């Protein structure tokens, strides 16, 4: 366990040191993360790219504390994540983290508005449905007129936009997005990335984005390439979202 930072303001939003995670398959232990280290600054958007099975989702699960690493430390805004405490893990997810899944994972029995407001309700605000923040986010993702619909009445892309609004509603310090554009068309994909960038710009939210798409990764401030359970390379696209060539070059260099 590394020493916790005493000044949260100057600490990175996320700091990972020597993260190791193995899965057991019968007698065999399969290492997925092998001492991975990573920093994500406050208000920074970092993309993670890597081949299938390289541990991208495992990394996000460990950061979100829905999975427990075997070794290593994870700090959020300078405070170490207490994996041993169920209560601490729950509060971390409730207050500091927002998650966007590849498969949306909306609650099927709640309307769009109720899904978005749910993290606020969980935090104790039972009148969250009427919250201006919910309206603001629904407006931002362009679904204000669909607020009374149930998830199955939406398209896949719309569901993902609701999922992003839900992940942002409680103003998390860190938003984890696991292939958020994996199941949507290019236009919706751009809309999603636009929303994430706005969150970084306007709310100082840090974003850790897992993606297979170089075009989408190029929206990030920094791209980390995950291979064999460690960060094997890192680039910062200078040209922003249209600067895709260096991403392809790095992928080719690393053999991903």
Question: Which of 100, 115, 67 is CA-nearest to residue 208?
Answer: 100
CA distance 31 to 48: 19
Q: Which is nearer to another protein, 19 or 235 (CB)?
A: 19
Q: Which residues pair with 71 in a beta bridge?
A: 20
Q: Which is nearer to another protein, 140 or 166 (CB)?
A: 166
**E-state strands within 60-155:** 71-76, 79-80, 97-100
**Length reported for the chain:** 256
Minimum gap (Å) between residue 17 Cβ and another protein: 21
Antiparallel, parallel or unpaired: β 71-76 and 45-49: unpaired
Non-local (6+) Cβ contacts of 184 within 8 A are 156, 157, 160, 192
Q: Which is nearer to another protein, 168 or 251 (CB)?
A: 168
Structure tokens of 61? Answer: 């699960």
Minimum gap (Å) between residue 217 Cβ and another protein: 20
Minimum gap (Å) between residue 215 Cβ and another protein: 23
Q: Which is nearer to another protein, 12 or 119 (CB)?
A: 119
CA distance 174 to 40: 9
Minimum gap (Å) between residue 186 Cβ and another protein: 18
Q: Which is nearer to another protein, 207 or 247 (CB)?
A: 207
Which residues form the interface with another protein (CB under 8 A)? Answer: 57-58, 61, 64, 66-67, 86-87, 90-91, 93-95, 98-99, 101-110, 114, 118-119, 121-124, 126, 150-152, 155-156, 159, 166, 178, 183
Q: Which is nearer to another protein, 104 or 225 (CB)?
A: 104
Minimum gap (Å) between residue 239 Cβ and another protein: 33
Helix (H, G, I), strand (E, B) or coil at 25: strand
User: For residue 24, how many other CB atoms are within 10 A of its CB?
Assistant: 8
Minimum gap (Å) between residue 106 Cβ and another protein: 8
């Amino acid at each position: 366990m590394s020493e916790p930072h005493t000044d949260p303001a100057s600490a990175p939003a996320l700091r990972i040191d020597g993260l190791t995670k193995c899965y057991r398959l019968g007698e065999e232990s399969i290492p997925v993360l092998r001492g991975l280290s990573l920093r994500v600054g406050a208000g920074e958007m970092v993309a993670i790219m890597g081949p299938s099975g390289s541990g991208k989702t495992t990394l996000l699960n460990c950061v979100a504390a829905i999975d427990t690493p075997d070794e290593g430390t994870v700090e959020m805004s300078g405070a170490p994540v207490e994996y041993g405490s169920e209560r601490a893990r729950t509060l971390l997810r409730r207050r500091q983290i927002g998650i966007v899944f590849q498969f949306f994972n909306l609650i099927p029995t709640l309307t769009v508005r109720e899904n978005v407001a749910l993290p606020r309700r969980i935090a104790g605000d039972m009148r969250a449905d009427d919250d201006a923040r919910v309206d603001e986010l629904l407006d931002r993702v362009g679904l204000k007129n669909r607020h009374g619909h149930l998830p199955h009445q939406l398209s896949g892309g719309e569901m993902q936009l609701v999922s992003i609004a839900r992940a942002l509603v409680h103003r998390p310090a860190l938003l984890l997005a696991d292939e958020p554009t994996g199941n949507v068309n290019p236009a919706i994909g751009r809309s999603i990335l636009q929303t994430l960038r706005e969150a970084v710009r306007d709310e100082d939210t840090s974003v850790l984005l897992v993606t297979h798409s170089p075009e989408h990764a190029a929206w990030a401030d920094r791209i980390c390439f995950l291979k064999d359970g460690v960060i094997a390379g890192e680039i910062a696209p200078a040209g922003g979202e249209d600067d895709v060539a260096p991403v392809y070059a790095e992928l080719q260099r690393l053999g991903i």
